[in-house]
Amino acid sequence: MAGVETALKEALTIDGALGAALVDMSSGMALGTLGHSADLDLTLAAAGSTDLVRATLRANELQGRTGEAMEDILTTLTHQYHLIRPLTGPGGEGLFLYLVLDRSRANLAMARHHIRRVESGLTV
């Protein structure tokens, strides 16, 4: 089982990864960040993404989809993918992994597969 720092390092091995964060959904605070892009403020992005996660969960609730779990949320920008993966394992409730990918270098399907593997090995 990997700790936060190890999990974030593993997330950055994904092709095209620019940054990763583990975020507390209730406060929007990043419990850990790691990245190598000078123009990427992961702490700010984590806080903003928290609103997106909350809104998606609320929309599902309003539509009566309470039995369906959110696997991930994808935001597609011109040059980047932003992937949010809520944690489902023990101790991970209320947390999500946030991954920023360079769109020109990333394989989205492989990134989703890899981030699921990171999640499954993470111990918080």
Average pLDDT, the chain: 91
pTM: 0.91
- Per-residue model confidence as pLDDT tens digits over 24-48: 999 999 999 999 777 899 999 999 9
Secondary structure class of 98 (helix, strand, coil): strand
Q: Is the pLDDT of residue 66 over 90?
A: no
Pairing relation of β-strands 73-76 and 17-24? Answer: unpaired
Nearest to 114 by CA among 44, 1, 11, 38: 11
- Per-residue model confidence as pLDDT tens digits over 110-124: 999 999 999 988 887
DSSP assignments along 45-88, one per residue: HHHHHHHHHHHHHHHHHHTT-TTSPP--EEEE-SSEEEEEEE--
